[in-house]
Protein backbone atom coordinates (compact mmCIF):
# COMPACT_ATOMS: atom_id res chain seq x y z
CA UNK A 1 0.00 0.00 0.00
CA UNK A 2 1.29 3.45 -0.85
CA UNK A 3 2.23 5.55 2.12
CA UNK A 4 1.28 9.20 2.42
CA UNK A 5 3.41 12.06 3.70
CA UNK A 6 1.28 15.11 4.50
CA UNK A 7 2.81 18.55 4.85
CA UNK A 8 1.04 21.53 6.37
CA UNK A 9 2.45 24.76 4.96
CA UNK A 10 3.98 25.35 1.54
CA UNK A 11 6.96 27.52 2.32
CA UNK A 12 10.62 26.75 2.99
CA UNK A 13 10.32 23.84 5.44
CA UNK A 14 7.29 22.26 3.86
CA UNK A 15 8.34 22.41 0.24
CA UNK A 16 11.90 21.31 1.05
CA UNK A 17 10.52 18.30 2.87
CA UNK A 18 8.03 17.47 0.13
CA UNK A 19 10.61 17.74 -2.64
CA UNK A 20 13.22 15.72 -0.81
CA UNK A 21 10.80 12.96 0.22
CA UNK A 22 9.48 12.57 -3.29
CA UNK A 23 12.98 12.52 -4.76
CA UNK A 24 14.13 9.87 -2.29
CA UNK A 25 11.02 7.76 -2.72
CA UNK A 26 9.01 8.42 -5.88
CA UNK A 27 6.43 5.84 -4.71
CA UNK A 28 5.49 7.97 -1.73
CA UNK A 29 2.34 10.10 -1.95
CA UNK A 30 3.34 13.59 -0.91
CA UNK A 31 0.48 16.01 -0.22
CA UNK A 32 1.11 19.66 0.72
CA UNK A 33 -1.63 21.95 2.03
CA UNK A 34 -1.00 25.66 1.69
CA UNK A 35 -3.81 27.97 2.75
CA UNK A 36 -2.50 30.84 0.59
CA UNK A 37 -1.49 30.89 -3.04
CA UNK A 38 2.23 31.60 -2.69
CA UNK A 39 4.60 28.71 -2.06
CA UNK A 40 8.35 28.47 -1.69
CA UNK A 41 8.96 32.18 -1.75
CA UNK A 42 11.84 34.22 -0.39
CA UNK A 43 10.27 36.28 2.38
CA UNK A 44 13.70 37.78 3.03
CA UNK A 45 13.60 39.29 -0.44
CA UNK A 46 10.44 41.34 0.15
CA UNK A 47 12.20 44.51 1.34
CA UNK A 48 14.24 44.49 -1.86
CA UNK A 49 11.08 44.24 -3.92
CA UNK A 50 9.70 47.26 -2.07
CA UNK A 51 13.01 49.05 -2.58
CA UNK A 52 12.84 48.41 -6.32
CA UNK A 53 16.02 46.32 -6.48
CA UNK A 54 13.90 43.32 -7.50
CA UNK A 55 11.54 43.94 -10.40
CA UNK A 56 8.78 41.41 -9.95
CA UNK A 57 7.28 39.76 -6.91
CA UNK A 58 7.40 36.53 -8.88
CA UNK A 59 11.18 36.81 -8.96
CA UNK A 60 11.15 35.90 -5.27
CA UNK A 61 9.56 32.54 -5.98
CA UNK A 62 12.13 29.79 -6.10
CA UNK A 63 9.93 27.06 -7.52
CA UNK A 64 6.44 27.71 -8.84
CA UNK A 65 3.37 25.70 -7.77
CA UNK A 66 3.20 24.35 -11.30
CA UNK A 67 6.79 23.14 -11.17
CA UNK A 68 6.18 21.41 -7.85
CA UNK A 69 3.21 19.62 -9.37
CA UNK A 70 4.60 18.66 -12.74
CA UNK A 71 8.36 18.43 -12.31
CA UNK A 72 8.53 17.25 -8.71
CA UNK A 73 5.27 15.27 -8.69
CA UNK A 74 4.16 16.81 -5.39
CA UNK A 75 0.40 16.93 -4.75
CA UNK A 76 0.35 20.61 -3.84
CA UNK A 77 -3.06 21.92 -2.80
CA UNK A 78 -2.98 25.71 -2.55
CA UNK A 79 -5.95 27.61 -1.10
CA UNK A 80 -6.63 24.68 1.24
CA UNK A 81 -6.17 25.06 4.98
CA UNK A 82 -5.67 22.29 7.49
CA UNK A 83 -8.03 23.14 10.36
CA UNK A 84 -7.61 20.05 12.53
CA UNK A 85 -5.10 17.30 13.18
CA UNK A 86 -6.26 14.04 14.75
CA UNK A 87 -3.13 12.08 15.64
CA UNK A 88 -5.07 9.08 16.92
CA UNK A 89 -6.80 8.58 13.59
CA UNK A 90 -3.77 9.92 11.70
CA UNK A 91 -6.05 12.24 9.77
CA UNK A 92 -6.10 15.96 9.05
CA UNK A 93 -9.23 17.96 8.28
CA UNK A 94 -8.94 20.33 5.35
CA UNK A 95 -11.01 23.43 4.61
CA UNK A 96 -11.07 24.38 0.93
CA UNK A 97 -13.25 27.42 1.50
CA UNK A 98 -16.22 25.60 0.02
CA UNK A 99 -16.09 22.39 1.98
CA UNK A 100 -14.09 20.35 4.43
CA UNK A 101 -12.63 16.91 3.89
CA UNK A 102 -10.32 14.50 5.62
CA UNK A 103 -6.89 13.37 4.52
CA UNK A 104 -5.08 10.53 6.19
CA UNK A 105 -1.32 10.45 6.67
CA UNK A 106 1.44 8.10 7.63
CA UNK A 107 3.84 10.92 8.45
CA UNK A 108 2.87 14.52 9.04
CA UNK A 109 5.03 17.65 8.94
CA UNK A 110 3.77 20.81 10.59
CA UNK A 111 5.36 23.74 8.81
CA UNK A 112 2.88 26.46 9.71
CA UNK A 113 5.48 29.19 9.98
CA UNK A 114 5.30 32.33 12.04
CA UNK A 115 3.21 35.48 11.93
CA UNK A 116 4.19 39.09 12.36
CA UNK A 117 3.32 40.21 15.87
CA UNK A 118 0.57 42.81 15.90
CA UNK A 119 1.09 45.02 18.93
CA UNK A 120 -1.98 46.50 20.68
CA UNK A 121 -1.73 49.78 18.81
CA UNK A 122 -4.64 52.06 17.99
CA UNK A 123 -5.11 52.54 14.29
CA UNK A 124 -3.44 49.33 13.14
CA UNK A 125 -6.21 48.90 10.56
CA UNK A 126 -5.78 52.32 8.96
CA UNK A 127 -4.85 52.43 5.30
CA UNK A 128 -1.13 52.82 4.97
CA UNK A 129 -0.25 50.80 8.08
CA UNK A 130 1.48 47.55 7.23
CA UNK A 131 3.22 44.63 8.74
CA UNK A 132 5.37 42.75 6.25
CA UNK A 133 4.31 39.18 6.89
CA UNK A 134 3.69 37.84 3.40
CA UNK A 135 3.99 38.44 -0.30
CA UNK A 136 0.58 40.08 -0.63
CA UNK A 137 1.58 42.58 2.03
CA UNK A 138 4.85 43.33 0.24
CA UNK A 139 2.83 43.94 -2.89
CA UNK A 140 0.45 46.21 -0.99
CA UNK A 141 3.32 48.30 0.41
CA UNK A 142 4.89 48.68 -3.00
CA UNK A 143 1.51 49.74 -4.42
CA UNK A 144 0.88 52.19 -1.61
CA UNK A 145 4.23 53.85 -2.12
CA UNK A 146 3.69 54.04 -5.87
CA UNK A 147 0.21 55.54 -5.62
CA UNK A 148 0.39 57.77 -2.55
CA UNK A 149 3.97 59.00 -2.81
CA UNK A 150 4.41 59.27 0.98
CA UNK A 151 6.70 61.98 2.32
CA UNK A 152 7.30 60.55 5.76
CA UNK A 153 7.41 56.99 7.02
CA UNK A 154 7.15 55.61 10.53
CA UNK A 155 8.90 52.30 10.95
CA UNK A 156 8.16 50.66 14.25
CA UNK A 157 10.82 48.21 15.33
CA UNK A 158 14.56 48.31 14.68
CA UNK A 159 15.10 44.63 13.88
CA UNK A 160 15.90 43.15 10.47
CA UNK A 161 12.60 44.20 8.94
CA UNK A 162 12.81 47.71 10.32
CA UNK A 163 16.35 48.29 9.14
CA UNK A 164 15.73 46.76 5.71
CA UNK A 165 12.49 48.66 5.22
CA UNK A 166 14.19 51.91 6.24
CA UNK A 167 16.59 51.38 3.35
CA UNK A 168 13.76 50.35 1.01
CA UNK A 169 11.58 53.39 1.69
CA UNK A 170 14.54 55.76 1.76
CA UNK A 171 15.32 54.64 -1.80
CA UNK A 172 11.95 56.13 -2.79
CA UNK A 173 12.87 59.49 -1.30
CA UNK A 174 10.72 59.00 1.79
CA UNK A 175 11.83 60.64 5.07
CA UNK A 176 12.14 57.67 7.37
CA UNK A 177 11.64 57.73 11.13
CA UNK A 178 12.60 54.53 12.87
CA UNK A 179 11.12 53.89 16.33
CA UNK A 180 12.68 51.34 18.66
CA UNK A 181 11.65 50.74 22.27
CA UNK A 182 15.03 49.31 23.26
CA UNK A 183 18.22 51.38 23.61
CA UNK A 184 19.58 50.01 20.30
CA UNK A 185 18.56 48.70 16.90
CA UNK A 186 19.38 45.12 15.90
CA UNK A 187 19.24 43.94 19.50
CA UNK A 188 20.33 40.35 18.69
CA UNK A 189 23.57 41.72 17.22
CA UNK A 190 24.79 43.37 20.40
CA UNK A 191 25.92 46.90 21.11
CA UNK A 192 29.15 46.94 19.09
CA UNK A 193 27.22 46.28 15.90
CA UNK A 194 24.32 48.52 16.89
CA UNK A 195 26.45 51.59 17.46
CA UNK A 196 28.11 51.24 14.05
CA UNK A 197 24.78 50.63 12.31
CA UNK A 198 23.06 53.50 14.12
CA UNK A 199 25.75 55.97 13.09
CA UNK A 200 25.44 54.79 9.51
CA UNK A 201 21.63 54.97 9.51
CA UNK A 202 21.85 58.57 10.70
CA UNK A 203 24.41 59.37 7.98
CA UNK A 204 21.90 57.99 5.50
CA UNK A 205 19.26 60.41 6.78
CA UNK A 206 17.24 58.00 8.90
CA UNK A 207 15.74 59.65 12.01
CA UNK A 208 16.38 57.21 14.82
CA UNK A 209 14.08 57.34 17.84
CA UNK A 210 15.61 54.91 20.34
CA UNK A 211 13.97 54.03 23.65
CA UNK A 212 10.80 55.40 22.14
CA UNK A 213 7.47 53.64 22.51
CA UNK A 214 4.79 53.99 19.87
CA UNK A 215 1.22 53.75 21.13
CA UNK A 216 -0.68 53.91 17.89
CA UNK A 217 -1.43 55.55 14.58
CA UNK A 218 -3.72 58.45 13.67
CA UNK A 219 -5.67 59.32 10.62
CA UNK A 220 -9.16 59.43 9.17
CA UNK A 221 -9.03 56.54 6.70
CA UNK A 222 -5.38 56.77 5.87
CA UNK A 223 -2.61 57.06 8.40
CA UNK A 224 -1.26 60.58 8.87
CA UNK A 225 0.56 60.35 12.19
CA UNK A 226 2.18 58.14 14.79
CA UNK A 227 1.45 58.60 18.50
CA UNK A 228 4.34 58.60 20.92
CA UNK A 229 4.16 59.14 24.66
CA UNK A 230 4.25 62.94 24.50
CA UNK A 231 3.69 63.87 20.91
CA UNK A 232 2.35 62.92 17.54
CA UNK A 233 4.73 62.77 14.56
CA UNK A 234 3.56 63.01 10.96
CA UNK A 235 3.66 59.76 8.96
CA UNK A 236 2.14 59.00 5.55
CA UNK A 237 2.99 55.34 5.75
CA UNK A 238 3.79 53.06 8.67
CA UNK A 239 5.48 49.69 8.80
CA UNK A 240 5.27 47.60 11.95
CA UNK A 241 8.06 45.08 12.32
CA UNK A 242 8.28 44.13 15.97
CA UNK A 243 9.01 40.45 15.55
CA UNK A 244 7.22 37.25 14.74
CA UNK A 245 5.55 34.56 16.78
CA UNK A 246 5.34 30.91 15.81
CA UNK A 247 2.01 29.61 14.50
CA UNK A 248 1.40 26.82 16.99
CA UNK A 249 -2.36 26.76 17.59
CA UNK A 250 -3.11 23.91 15.22
CA UNK A 251 -0.29 21.86 16.69
CA UNK A 252 -1.24 22.65 20.28
CA UNK A 253 -4.83 21.56 19.69
CA UNK A 254 -3.53 18.24 18.41
CA UNK A 255 -1.54 17.68 21.60
CA UNK A 256 1.83 18.68 20.22
CA UNK A 257 4.05 20.13 22.94
CA UNK A 258 5.63 23.51 22.78
CA UNK A 259 9.08 24.09 24.22
CA UNK A 260 10.44 26.80 26.52
CA UNK A 261 10.44 29.39 23.75
CA UNK A 262 6.78 28.84 22.91
CA UNK A 263 7.57 27.27 19.55
CA UNK A 264 7.01 23.58 18.85
CA UNK A 265 9.44 21.30 20.70
CA UNK A 266 11.35 18.92 18.43
CA UNK A 267 14.09 16.35 18.79
CA UNK A 268 17.21 16.04 16.68
CA UNK A 269 15.19 14.51 13.83
CA UNK A 270 12.52 17.19 13.95
CA UNK A 271 10.05 14.84 15.67
CA UNK A 272 7.46 16.22 18.05
CA UNK A 273 6.12 14.36 21.09
CA UNK A 274 3.30 12.99 18.93
CA UNK A 275 3.99 9.86 16.96
CA UNK A 276 4.69 10.39 13.24
CA UNK A 277 4.28 14.14 13.61
CA UNK A 278 7.25 16.36 12.74
CA UNK A 279 7.64 20.13 12.89
CA UNK A 280 10.10 22.41 11.12
CA UNK A 281 10.66 25.98 10.09
CA UNK A 282 9.51 29.17 11.78
CA UNK A 283 6.97 27.35 13.98
CA UNK A 284 9.53 25.01 15.54
CA UNK A 285 12.44 25.09 17.95
CA UNK A 286 15.91 23.88 17.07
CA UNK A 287 18.87 23.02 19.24
CA UNK A 288 21.48 25.72 19.70
CA UNK A 289 24.96 24.39 19.03
CA UNK A 290 26.60 26.47 21.76
CA UNK A 291 24.14 25.98 24.62
CA UNK A 292 22.76 22.61 23.59
CA UNK A 293 19.36 24.03 24.57
CA UNK A 294 16.26 24.49 22.43
CA UNK A 295 15.99 27.89 20.82
CA UNK A 296 13.67 29.64 18.38
CA UNK A 297 15.47 31.50 15.60
CA UNK A 298 13.07 31.60 12.66
CA UNK A 299 15.35 31.88 9.62
CA UNK A 300 15.25 30.53 6.11
CA UNK A 301 18.24 28.20 6.11
CA UNK A 302 17.09 26.45 9.29
CA UNK A 303 13.68 25.86 7.72
CA UNK A 304 15.09 24.59 4.45
CA UNK A 305 17.59 22.32 6.13
CA UNK A 306 15.19 20.84 8.65
CA UNK A 307 12.56 20.30 5.97
CA UNK A 308 15.04 18.54 3.74
CA UNK A 309 16.24 16.31 6.59
CA UNK A 310 12.69 15.36 7.57
CA UNK A 311 11.87 14.62 3.95
CA UNK A 312 14.73 12.15 4.02
CA UNK A 313 13.83 10.74 7.42
CA UNK A 314 10.25 9.90 6.44
CA UNK A 315 11.55 7.85 3.51
CA UNK A 316 13.40 5.60 5.92
CA UNK A 317 16.78 7.24 6.29
CA UNK A 318 16.84 9.03 9.66
CA UNK A 319 18.67 12.33 9.15
CA UNK A 320 19.32 14.88 11.89
CA UNK A 321 17.98 18.34 11.20
CA UNK A 322 21.21 19.88 12.47
CA UNK A 323 21.90 22.40 15.19
CA UNK A 324 21.61 26.13 14.75
CA UNK A 325 24.10 28.78 15.74
CA UNK A 326 21.72 31.70 15.34
CA UNK A 327 23.84 32.93 12.45
CA UNK A 328 22.35 35.96 10.73
CA UNK A 329 23.41 38.75 8.43
CA UNK A 330 21.62 41.94 7.48
CA UNK A 331 22.28 44.77 5.06
CA UNK A 332 21.82 48.30 6.35
CA UNK A 333 22.42 50.59 3.40
CA UNK A 334 26.17 50.25 2.72
CA UNK A 335 26.89 48.14 5.78
CA UNK A 336 26.74 44.44 6.38
CA UNK A 337 26.14 43.30 9.95
CA UNK A 338 26.43 39.69 11.01
CA UNK A 339 26.22 37.60 14.15
CA UNK A 340 26.58 34.00 15.26
CA UNK A 341 26.26 32.18 18.56
CA UNK A 342 26.12 34.09 21.81
CA UNK A 343 27.18 37.68 21.30
CA UNK A 344 26.82 39.34 24.66
CA UNK A 345 28.19 38.56 28.08
CA UNK A 346 24.86 38.75 29.89
CA UNK A 347 23.34 36.09 27.65
CA UNK A 348 26.48 33.98 28.07
CA UNK A 349 26.19 34.13 31.86
CA UNK A 350 22.52 33.14 31.65
CA UNK A 351 23.64 30.08 29.68
CA UNK A 352 26.08 29.14 32.42
CA UNK A 353 29.32 30.43 30.93
CA UNK A 354 31.97 32.72 32.40
CA UNK A 355 32.31 35.03 29.44
CA UNK A 356 35.19 37.17 28.28
CA UNK A 357 34.87 39.26 25.15
CA UNK A 358 36.72 41.75 22.99
CA UNK A 359 35.78 44.17 20.25
CA UNK A 360 38.45 45.16 17.74
CA UNK A 361 38.51 47.22 14.57
CA UNK A 362 40.68 46.29 11.61
CA UNK A 363 40.79 46.84 7.89
CA UNK A 364 39.10 44.35 5.59
CA UNK A 365 42.15 44.57 3.25
CA UNK A 366 45.88 45.22 3.58
CA UNK A 367 46.37 48.70 5.03
CA UNK A 368 47.96 49.99 1.81
CA UNK A 369 45.45 48.42 -0.59
CA UNK A 370 42.72 50.77 -1.91
CA UNK A 371 39.09 50.76 -0.79
CA UNK A 372 39.43 48.65 2.33
CA UNK A 373 36.67 48.98 4.90
CA UNK A 374 36.87 49.13 8.65
CA UNK A 375 35.55 45.92 10.15
CA UNK A 376 34.46 45.83 13.77
CA UNK A 377 34.67 42.32 15.18
CA UNK A 378 33.40 41.17 18.56
CA UNK A 379 34.41 37.77 19.86
CA UNK A 380 33.24 36.13 23.04
CA UNK A 381 34.52 33.00 24.76
CA UNK A 382 34.17 31.02 27.95
CA UNK A 383 37.03 31.70 30.35
CA UNK A 384 37.37 28.18 31.70
CA UNK A 385 37.01 26.03 28.58
CA UNK A 386 38.34 28.82 26.30
CA UNK A 387 35.68 27.73 23.79
CA UNK A 388 34.45 30.36 21.35
CA UNK A 389 30.81 31.19 22.15
CA UNK A 390 30.02 33.59 19.34
CA UNK A 391 30.74 36.90 17.72
CA UNK A 392 29.69 39.70 15.42
CA UNK A 393 31.11 41.52 12.42
CA UNK A 394 30.03 44.83 10.93
CA UNK A 395 31.49 46.85 8.08
CA UNK A 396 31.16 47.97 4.47
CA UNK A 397 32.55 44.68 3.22
CA UNK A 398 33.39 41.36 4.77
CA UNK A 399 30.45 40.70 7.10
CA UNK A 400 29.97 37.29 5.46
CA UNK A 401 33.21 36.28 7.17
CA UNK A 402 30.91 35.48 10.09
CA UNK A 403 30.73 32.02 8.47
CA UNK A 404 34.24 31.34 9.71
CA UNK A 405 33.05 31.94 13.26
CA UNK A 406 29.88 29.92 12.73
CA UNK A 407 31.97 27.00 11.53
CA UNK A 408 34.20 27.38 14.58
CA UNK A 409 31.12 27.18 16.82
CA UNK A 410 29.90 23.98 15.16
CA UNK A 411 33.37 22.51 15.63
CA UNK A 412 33.64 23.68 19.24
CA UNK A 413 36.97 25.38 18.58
CA UNK A 414 38.83 27.16 21.35
CA UNK A 415 40.12 30.69 20.95
CA UNK A 416 43.65 29.48 20.35
CA UNK A 417 42.49 26.94 17.78
CA UNK A 418 40.62 29.71 15.96
CA UNK A 419 43.65 31.99 16.24
CA UNK A 420 45.73 29.30 14.53
CA UNK A 421 43.35 28.76 11.62
CA UNK A 422 45.09 29.21 8.30
CA UNK A 423 42.82 31.85 6.76
CA UNK A 424 43.33 33.36 3.34
CA UNK A 425 45.53 36.39 2.82
CA UNK A 426 46.30 38.53 -0.18
CA UNK A 427 46.36 42.35 -0.08
CA UNK A 428 43.08 42.89 -1.99
CA UNK A 429 41.19 40.54 0.32
CA UNK A 430 42.57 40.78 3.84
CA UNK A 431 45.38 41.96 6.05
CA UNK A 432 47.92 39.22 6.82
CA UNK A 433 45.97 38.59 10.01
CA UNK A 434 42.32 38.49 9.05
CA UNK A 435 40.31 40.67 11.48
CA UNK A 436 38.82 37.48 12.95
CA UNK A 437 42.33 36.24 13.74
CA UNK A 438 43.23 39.60 15.24
CA UNK A 439 40.16 39.42 17.47
CA UNK A 440 41.12 35.88 18.49
CA UNK A 441 44.68 37.01 19.25
CA UNK A 442 43.49 39.82 21.50
CA UNK A 443 40.89 37.63 23.17
CA UNK A 444 43.50 34.91 23.68
CA UNK A 445 45.68 37.46 25.44
CA UNK A 446 42.80 38.35 27.76
CA UNK A 447 42.25 34.70 28.62
CA UNK A 448 45.82 34.26 29.92
Give the whole-angstrom CA distance, residue 408 versus residue 270: 24
- Interface residue with its own copies among 6, 7, 8, 12 (CB under 8 A) is 12
Q: Which CB, 216 or 431, lies closer to its own copies?
A: 431
Nearest CB to its own copies, comparing residues 48 and 144: 48
Distance, in Å, from the CA atom of 138 to the CA atom of 131, rounded to the nearest integer, reads: 9
Catalytic residue among 23, 24, 44, 175: 44
CA-to-CA separations, 312 to 7, 25, 165, in angstroms, rounded: 14, 9, 37
Query: Counting contacts by CB under 8 A, is residue 148 touching its own copies?
Result: no
Pick one of 265, 398, 415, 439: the residue that binds its own copies (CB under 8 A): 398
Q: Does 376 bind its own copies (CB under 8 A)?
A: no
Please identify which residue in 36, 119, 188, 427 interacts with its own copies, judged by CB under 8 A: 427
Residue pair 387/289 in contact (Cβ under 8 Å)? The answer is no
Catalytic, 44? Answer yes
| Cβ contact 187:195 at 8 Å | no
Question: Contact between 436 and its own copies (CB under 8 A)?
Answer: yes
Phi, psi of 177, deg, nearest 5: -110, 125
210 is an interface residue for its own copies by CB under 8 A: no
Nearer to its own copies, 42 or 447 (CB): 42
Q: Are 445 and 438 in contact (CB under 8 A)?
A: no
Buried b vs exposed e over 70-97: b needs ≥16 C-beta within 10 Å? Answer: eebebbbbbebbbeebebeebbbebbee
Is 316 near its own copies (CB under 8 A)? Answer: no
Nearest to 223 by CA among 116, 132, 144: 144
Quick check: 18 binds its own copies (CB under 8 A)? no
Give the nearest distance from C-beta 398 to its own copies in angstroms: 7
351 is a site residue for its own copies (CB under 8 A): no
Residue 433 as a binder of its own copies (CB under 8 A): the answer is yes
202 binds its own copies per the rule CB under 8 A: no
Distance in Å, CB of 285 to its own copies, minimum: 14
User: CA-to-CA distance for 436 and 388, rounded, in angstroms?
Assistant: 12
Specify the residue, 216 or 398, whose C-beta has the smaller distance to its own copies.
398
Least gap, CB of 62 to its own copies (angstroms): 8
In the list 8, 15, 21, 60, the residue contacting its own copies (rule: CB under 8 A) is: 60
* 423 touching its own copies, by CB under 8 A: yes
> Considering the rule CB under 8 A, would residue 336 count as an interface residue with its own copies?
yes
Task: Tell whether residue 290 is a contact of its own copies (CB under 8 A).
Answer: no
* Shortest Å distance, C-beta 180 to its own copies: 20
Q: Binding segment for its own copies among 38-46, 65-73, 134-142, 216-224 (CB under 8 A)?
A: 38-46
Could you write out the DSSP letters of every residue in 52-105?
TSS--GGGGBSS-HHHHHHTS--EEEET-EEEEEETTTTEEEEE-SS-EEEEE-
> With respect to its own copies, which residue has the nearer C-beta, 70 or 420?
420
DSSP 148: H
By three-state DSSP, how is residue 130 classified?
A: strand
Q: What is the SS3 assignment for 237?
A: strand
> Which residues are CB-neighbours of 56 under 8 A, at least 6 positions away?
49
Q: To 5 degrees, how large is the angle CA 343–CA 344–CA 350?
A: 110
Rule CB under 8 A: say whether 428 interacts with its own copies: yes
Interface positions with its own copies (CB under 8 A): 12, 42, 44-45, 48, 53-54, 59-60, 62, 160, 289, 299-302, 304-305, 320, 322-331, 336, 338, 340, 366-370, 398-404, 406-413, 417-418, 420-430, 432-434, 436-437
* Residues tagged active-site: 44
Amino acid sequence: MTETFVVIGGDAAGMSAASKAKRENPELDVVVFEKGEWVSYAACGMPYYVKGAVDELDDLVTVTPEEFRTERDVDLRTGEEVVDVDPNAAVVTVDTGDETYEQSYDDLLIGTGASAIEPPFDGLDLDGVFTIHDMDEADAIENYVAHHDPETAAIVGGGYVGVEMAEALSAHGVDVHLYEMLPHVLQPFGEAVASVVEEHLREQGIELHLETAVSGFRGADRVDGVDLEDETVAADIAIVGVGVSPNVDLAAEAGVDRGPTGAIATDEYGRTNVENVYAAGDCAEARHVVTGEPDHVPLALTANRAGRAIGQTVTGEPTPVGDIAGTAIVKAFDLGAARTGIVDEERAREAGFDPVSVTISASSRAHYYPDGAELTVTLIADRESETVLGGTIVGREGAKRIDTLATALHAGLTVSELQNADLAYAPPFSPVWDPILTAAKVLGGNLE
